């Protein structure tokens, strides 16, 4: 009798195994699928002042709609990401629940219906963060920065390449207020005060000076939005201060009392 009961329980357990497997499989598949918001749900973010919703746009892996930079964050909420960049005049895009993209202009992509951007953010089911090849895009009322044509007797020579191991200008000089206060006016003033005819700014807050262009550096063609000199100055968001391995370079022909390279 006991043996028969054990066999009956074992048989029942065997019948449950396929059901358990199917349940686990369904859960795994659900976790892999895009997390979508309820149909026709569109949630407005609590946006920082001056930031507004632009719309849902298509995106292409081979040609990004917003190309300046990106990052992926599994704790992403739309409001969190938009707040980070709200003080800078970037277009801001959210995609695939956790991807964040930004740029000054739409390099491609076309307007899509709002319902195409139907994936909720990874860390907030009440906010939408784009969709498969779809960007939820926000903008600010700030103006796009421009290349400063020149100041303090220095004229702009454009955007130039730079390498950490072989600097275009060999001397780094501090500016009043430090890197957080960097702008073209302060940078050229610092180079001029220290006896340098060339002045360059890089990575939004690095000041470089020299009396010659070293290490075969060359001018990079194109406009500021595409040549790499695309970072707004830390201390003045209306003008560019170089970029990654890129210098906005300035020169004055009237500088006297030049210091010799290596003497600074």
pLDDT tens string for the chain (264 positions)? 545 544 554 454 455 555 545 555 445 444 544 444 444 344 455 565 677 889 999 999 888 998 766 667 666 666 666 666 655 667 889 999 888 888 877 888 899 999 999 998 887 777 888 999 999 998 887 777 889 999 999 999 999 999 999 999 999 999 988 999 999 999 999 999 999 999 999 999 999 999 999 998 999 987 666 688 988 899 998 899 999 999 999 999 986 554 445 444
pLDDT reported for residue 66: 87
pLDDT digits (tens, 9 = 90+) for 128-183: 889 999 999 988 877 778 899 999 999 999 999 999 999 999 999 999 889 999 99
Ramachandran angles phi, psi of 214, nearest 5°: -100, 165
pLDDT reported for residue 196: 95
> Three-class SS string for 74-133?
CCCCHHHHHHHHCCCCCEEEEECCCEEEEECCCCCCCEECHHHCCEEECCEEEEECCECC
pLDDT reported for residue 119: 92
pLDDT reported for residue 81: 64
Quick one: how far is CA 56 from the chain centroid? Answer: 19
pLDDT reported for residue 118: 92
CA 211 to each of CA 208, 249, 255: distance values in angstroms, whole numbers, following the listed order? 11, 12, 10
For the entire predicted model, the pTM comes to 0.61
CA 232 to each of CA 38, 84, 221, 237, 264: distance values in angstroms, whole numbers, following the listed order? 39, 15, 19, 5, 28
Which strands sit side by side in the sheet containing 171-172, from one edge to the other?
A: 150-151, 154-161, 246-251, 198-202, 206-210, 171-172
Residues 6+ apart with CB under 8 A from 200: 160, 162, 168, 169, 187, 207, 208, 209, 210, 242, 247, 248, 249, 250
pLDDT reported for residue 260: 47
pLDDT reported for residue 41: 45
pLDDT reported for residue 123: 77
pLDDT reported for residue 35: 46
Give the C-alpha separation, 121 to 119, whole Å: 7
Place of tokens 């950490």: 164
């Amino acid at each position: 009798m006991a043996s028969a009961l054990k066999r009956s329980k074992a048989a029942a357990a065997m019948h449950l195994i396929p059901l358990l497997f199917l349940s686990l499989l369904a859960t795994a598949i659900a976790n892999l699928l895009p997390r979508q918001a309820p149909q026709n749900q569109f949630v407005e973010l609590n946006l920082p002042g001056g930031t507004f919703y632009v719309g849902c746009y298509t995106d292409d892996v081979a040609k990004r709609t917003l190309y300046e930079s990106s990052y992926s964050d599994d704790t992403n909420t739309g409001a969190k990401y938009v707040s980070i960049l709200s003080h800078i005049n970037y277009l801001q895009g959210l995609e695939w629940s956790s991807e964040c993209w930004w740029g000054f202009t739409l390099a491609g992509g076309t307007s899509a219906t709002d319902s195409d951007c139907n994936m909720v953010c990874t860390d907030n089911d009440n906010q939408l963060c784009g969709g498969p090849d779809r960007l939820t895009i926000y903008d600010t009322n700030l103006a796009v920065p421009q290349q400063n044509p020149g100041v303090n007797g220095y004229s702009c020579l454009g955007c130039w390449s730079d390498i950490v191991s072989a600097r275009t200008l060999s001397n780094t000089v501090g500016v009043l207020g430090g890197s957080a206060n960097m702008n073209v006016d302060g940078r050229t003033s610092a180079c001029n005060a220290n006896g340098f005819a060339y002045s360059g700014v890089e990575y939004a807050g690095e000041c470089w000076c020299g009396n010659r262009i070293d290490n075969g550096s060359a001018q990079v063609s194109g406009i500021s939005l595409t040549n790499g000199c695309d970072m707004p100055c830390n201390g003045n968001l209306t003008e560019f201060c170089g970029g990654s391995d890129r210098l906005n370079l300035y020169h004055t022909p009237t500088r006297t009392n030049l210091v010799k390279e290596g003497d600074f």
